[in-house]
């Protein structure tokens, strides 16, 4: 998930979005033994051959995309367009931490494996929802600021009796599937000391487990690593951008890429190109496909690149899975200047294109174009806009390059409104593909952004410090916030990848909705930002069913079958970049973080508790003791250091504390909190970054925001009091 440099189109008004320990917890022995015994009795081992043949056992969901092609399509059809109205909640499981829930569960032989915040892994009886075991990798919470978009995790890989999780603080951990004990763990960082975090799901291929890296808002150099599943030993590593120019290149691909960069400023900054989300694999060609992220900084001039393509940022890259050897690449956004990651999930499909059978790769990244690419060669076959897109007029099929409208799009020297904004036309929330309808189902976001260069450019190379190359205008008017919230729009779009056109669309009131699942029952399932799980007919887009989720849903649903009954399951839990950065705007979704697994079946009779909507009174307000200049400085510092987690106007989007509600006791120890007193609770230390005067300027700004809030609340209450 990625942050945004500025929020929606109307943001002209000044609003912009911008340890090695472990802990295992076993469930009741009887329940655990029964389920594990059933799996063992079946005599099955999850391995690459079984994942590759996923269509042969539609009752399981063996990888995050169900199979290596990442289509997220279930051949099950017991639940269908004719009877989906009878779907009910079968069971629910509440996970430990109410933060963003982004994982796609995997299900094998009656057991579901999923993750919550801080990379905690859960093994659950997929029929009853009973916990079998839980594994907490004891993530170093002082590292919570080392990713742009919360301490999320998008799921596990399973195979050969193990469950593999990429722990947020940079470790790949193998867990014994039978009892939840740790088999091994390895440091996935490259030892460079650059900011590093893991949020994506690993991928099992053969006897290796692969994982990408995150951190391209900081000082990261992107790469993919492959580890031996028995020992945890590093097998190979592929970097996505070149390294230190004073040292030899790691391979010929890096030598090729270096020609597209100038100077050594990129090396000082790290380069970016992180592989923080999905990967796909073609067993026939042994090619691994992954998307890469933005460059560091976002602003091309601040990374010293007015013209260079900067390979392999914002690209699809194919490498040999066995060795990590480069095969081909296609760069979707050369010289990326807009945070247009290519990290949305990649879908592989066999289609008829222009009258000929083709093995293709389908991709709908943040930049607003839908790409159809020959997955053997990397040749671009077609590309068309699937969402409002102004930064480029079209993609030239002869050159494969976008035709950029520089008058509209180049904000590197002056502020411009650009569509899509850095939230993207489609972010990490997975799309699905139905071979039955031939359509792709995309969680689309219609949101443009104001992007503005730094007034005082400069790169801070310390760990955990944001470097996006731009300034964030500050929202001080909550009425404007409300107006802008109404301008955001999300959509579920059914897209024909061959005709390159929209077939149908459903509009959501908010952006940041969930991933999609397509099924043979002519259904598409998606969770929504406003706290629902919904089913539409896959062919026509008619809404057929919905159920409350108590919280915003971002993750992708799955389907599986046990004892002749089909289930639809999804992780629910509000969080990620939009609620964090968006602050008050995201709060207009009217949901709270409440992280849990929801599992539905026909005739399900379970129920959810009442959702959280507690009202918190304002504490005793502090006196503002700062002049206008100091308050302006405090606002500037807050935006640069605090807004990425606490929201643009200190609201926090309902995910982490709203700093306008600081108590007198918290104000008294504010400097200590900033210096790391609560690092074990996930509040990173900023010791050495700010002077005491700067810390106090931030605190005074927060006091002012508290007074602004009280004024707004009093105004809302006044008409009621008059009655």
Instruction: Please give the mean pLDDT across all residues of the chain.
Output: 88
What CATH number corresponds to the domain at position 686?
A: 1.10.760.10
- 475 vs 669, which has greater pLDDT? 669
**Contact yes or no for 498/353 (Cβ under 8 A):** yes
The residue length of the chain stands at: 723
Domain for residue 116, yes or no? yes
Q: pLDDT over 90 for what percent of the chain? A: 67
- C-alpha–C-alpha distance, residues 431 and 104, integer Å: 12
What does DSSP say about strands 203-205 and 157-159: parallel, antiparallel, or unpaired?
unpaired
Q: Which residue has the tokens 């943040």?
A: 366
Which of 602, 617, 648 is the last residue before a domain boundary?
Answer: 602
Q: Positive or negative, the Cα torsion across 175, 181, 187, 189?
A: positive
- C-alpha–C-alpha distance, residues 63 and 1, integer Å: 20
Examine the domain organization and report whether 571 and 666 are in the same domain: no
**Tokens linked to 569:** 């399951």
- C-alpha–C-alpha distance, residues 239 and 253, integer Å: 9
What does the pLDDT look like over 521-535, one tens digit per residue? 999 999 999 999 999
Examine the domain organization and report whether 530 and 677 are in the same domain: no
What does the pLDDT look like over 290-325, one tens digit per residue? 999 999 888 898 888 888 999 999 999 999 999 999
The mean pLDDT value for 246-263 works out to: 95
Measured CA distances, 368 to 130, 336, 448, 651 (Å): 42, 13, 11, 29
Domain for residue 607, yes or no? no
Domain for residue 48, yes or no? yes
- C-alpha–C-alpha distance, residues 557 and 102, integer Å: 10
Measured CA distances, 252 to 242, 308, 323, 325, 377 (Å): 10, 19, 14, 9, 18
- Total tally of structural domains belonging to the chain: 2
Domain for residue 634, yes or no? yes
Q: What is the largest CA-CA distance in the chain?
A: 77
65, burial (CB in 10 Å: exposed 0-12, middle 13-18, buried 19+): buried
- C-alpha–C-alpha distance, residues 241 and 253, integer Å: 9
**Contact yes or no for 558/61 (Cβ under 8 A):** yes
Q: Tell me, what's the pLDDT at 487?
A: 66
Q: Tell me, what's the pLDDT at 485?
A: 62
Examine the domain organization and report whether 486 and 422 are in the same domain: yes
**Contact yes or no for 281/244 (Cβ under 8 A):** no
N- to C-terminal Cα distance for the chain? 47
Q: Tell me, what's the pLDDT at 608?
A: 95
Examine the domain organization and report whether 88 and 197 are in the same domain: yes
Examine the domain organization and report whether 557 and 635 are in the same domain: no
Q: Tell me, what's the pLDDT at 472?
A: 59
DSSP state of 61: B
Which active-site residues does the annotation give? Answer: 339
Measured CA distances, 466 to 5, 198, 335, 358, 545 (Å): 11, 17, 20, 42, 42
Q: Tell me, what's the pLDDT at 16?
A: 32
The mean pLDDT value for 455-480 works out to: 66
Domain for residue 669, yes or no? yes
DSSP state of 482: H
Separation of CA 378 from chain center: 25
**Contact yes or no for 643/652 (Cβ under 8 A):** no
- 656 vs 533, which has greater pLDDT? 533
Q: Tell me, what's the pLDDT at 141?
A: 85
Residue 501 — φ and ψ, nearest 5°? -150, 155
What does the pLDDT look like over 350-409, one tens digit per residue? 999 999 999 999 999 999 999 999 999 999 999 999 999 999 999 999 999 999 999 999
Examine the domain organization and report whether 574 and 652 are in the same domain: no
What CATH number corresponds to the domain at position 170?
A: 2.140.10.10
Lowest mean pLDDT among 49-58, 83-92, 618-627, 643-652: 643-652
Domain for residue 401, yes or no? yes
Examine the domain organization and report whether 384 and 467 are in the same domain: yes
Examine the domain organization and report whether 43 and 135 are in the same domain: yes
Domain for residue 563, yes or no? yes
**Tokens linked to 44:** 């099955």
Q: Tell me, what's the pLDDT at 586?
A: 65
Per DSSP, the three-state class of 534 is: strand
**Contact yes or no for 92/597 (Cβ under 8 A):** yes
Examine the domain organization and report whether 273 and 131 are in the same domain: yes
Cβ neighbours of residue 34 under 8 Å, at least 6 residues apart? none
Lowest mean pLDDT among 131-135, 585-589, 668-672: 585-589
Lowest mean pLDDT among 191-205, 471-485, 609-623: 471-485
Domain for residue 706, yes or no? yes
Examine the domain organization and report whether 598 and 672 are in the same domain: no
Q: Tell me, what's the pLDDT at 486?
A: 63
Examine the domain organization and report whether 664 and 593 are in the same domain: no
- C-alpha–C-alpha distance, residues 501 and 283, integer Å: 30
**Range(s) of the domain holding residue 708:** 628-722
What does the pLDDT look like over 60-79, one tens digit per residue? 999 999 999 999 999 999 99
Q: Tell me, what's the pLDDT at 483?
A: 57
Examine the domain organization and report whether 529 and 423 are in the same domain: yes
DSSP string for residues in 600-645: EEET----PPPPP-------PPPPP---HHHHHHHHHHHHHHTHHH
Q: What is the pTM of this model?
A: 0.92
Per DSSP, the three-state class of 665 is: helix
- The closest of 454, 398, 225 to 321, measured between CA atoms, is 225
């Amino acid at each position: 998930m990625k942050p945004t440099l500025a929020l929606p189109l109307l943001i002209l008004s000044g609003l912009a979005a911008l340890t090695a320990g472990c802990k295992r917890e076993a469930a009741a022995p009887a329940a655990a033994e029964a389920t594990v015994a059933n799996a063992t009795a079946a005599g099955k081992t999850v391995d690459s051959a079984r994942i590759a043949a996923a269509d042969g056992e539609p009752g399981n969901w063996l990888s995050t995309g169900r199979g290596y092609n990442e289509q997220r399509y279930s051949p099950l059809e017991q639940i269908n367009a004719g009877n989906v109205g009878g779907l009910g909640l079968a069971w629910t499981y509440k996970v430990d931490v109410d933060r963003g829930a982004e994982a796609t569960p995997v299900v094998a032989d009656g057991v579901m494996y999923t993750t919550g915040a801080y990379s905690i892994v859960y093994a659950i009886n997929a029929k009853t929802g009973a916990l079998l075991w839980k594994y907490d990798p004891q993530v170093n919470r002082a590292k919570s600021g080392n990713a742009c978009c919360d301490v999320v995790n998008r799921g596990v890989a399973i195979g050969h009796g193990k469950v593999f999780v990429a722990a947020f603080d940079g470790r790949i951990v193998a867990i014994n599937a039978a009892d939840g004990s740790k088999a091994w763990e390895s440091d996935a960082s490259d030892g460079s000391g650059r900011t590093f975090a893991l949020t994506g799901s690993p991928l099992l291929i053969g006897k290796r487990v692969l994982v990408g890296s995150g951190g391209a808002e900081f000082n990261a150099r992107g790469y993919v690593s492959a580890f031996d599943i028995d020992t945890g030993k590093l097998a190979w590593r592929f970097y996505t951008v070149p390294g230190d120019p004073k040292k030899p290149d790691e391979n010929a691909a890096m030598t090729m890429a270096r020609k597209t960069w100038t100077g050594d400023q990129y090396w000082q900054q790290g380069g970016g190109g992180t592989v923080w989300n999905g990967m796909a694999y073609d067993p026939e060609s042994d090619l691994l496909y992954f998307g890469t992220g933005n460059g560091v900084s976002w602003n091309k001039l601040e990374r010293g690149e007015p013209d260079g393509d900067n390979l392999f940022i914002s690209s699809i890259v194919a490498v040999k899975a066995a060795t990590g050897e480069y095969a081909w690449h296609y760069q979707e956004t050369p010289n990326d200047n807009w945070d247009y990651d290519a990290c949305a999930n990649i879908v592989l499909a066999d289609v008829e294109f222009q009258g000929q059978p083709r093995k293709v790769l389908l991709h709908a990244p943040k930049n607003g174009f839908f790409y159809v690419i020959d997955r053997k060669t990397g040749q671009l076959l077609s590309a068309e806009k699937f969402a409002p897109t102004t930064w480029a007029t079209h993609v030239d099929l002869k050159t494969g390059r976008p035709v950029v409208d520089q008058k509209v799009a180049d904000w590197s020297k002056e502020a411009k409104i650009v569509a899509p904004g850095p939230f993207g036309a489609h972010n990490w929330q997975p799309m699905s593909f139905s071979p039955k309808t031939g359509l792709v189902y995309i969680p689309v976001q219609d949101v443009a952004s104001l992007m503005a260069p730094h007034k005082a450019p400069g790169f801070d190379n310390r760990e955990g410090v944001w470097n996006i190359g731009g300034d964030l205008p500050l929202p001080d008017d909550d009425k404007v916030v409300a107006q802008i919230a109404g301008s955001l729009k999300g959509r579920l779009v059914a897209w024909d990848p061959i005709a390159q056109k929209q077939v149908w669309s459903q509009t959501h009131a908010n952006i940041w909705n969930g991933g999609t699942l397509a099924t043979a029952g002519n259904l598409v399932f998606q969770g929504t930002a406003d706290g629902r799980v919904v089913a539409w007919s896959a062919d026509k887009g008619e809404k057929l069913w919905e159920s409350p989720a108590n919280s915003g849903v971002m993750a992708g649903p799955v389907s599986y079958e046990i004892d002749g009954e089909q289930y639809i399951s999804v992780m629910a839990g509000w969080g990620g970049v939009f609620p964090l950065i968006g602050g008050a705007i995201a709060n207009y979704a009217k949901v709270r973080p409440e992280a849990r697994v929801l599992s539905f079946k026909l005739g399900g009779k379970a129920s959810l508790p009442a959702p959280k909507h507690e009202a918190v009174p304002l504490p005793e307000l502090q006196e503002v003791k700062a002049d206008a200049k100091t308050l302006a400085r405090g606002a500037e510092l807050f935006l640069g250091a605090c807004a990425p987690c606490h929201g643009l106007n200190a609201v926090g989007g309902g995910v982490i504390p709203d700093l306008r509600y600081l108590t007198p006791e918290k104000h008294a120890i504010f400097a200590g909190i900033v210096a790391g007193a609560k690092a074990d609770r996930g509040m990173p230390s900023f010791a050495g970054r700010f002077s005491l005067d700067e810390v106090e300027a931030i605190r005074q700004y927060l006091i002012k925001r508290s007074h602004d809030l009280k004024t707004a609340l009093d105004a809302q209450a006044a008409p009621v009091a008059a009655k």
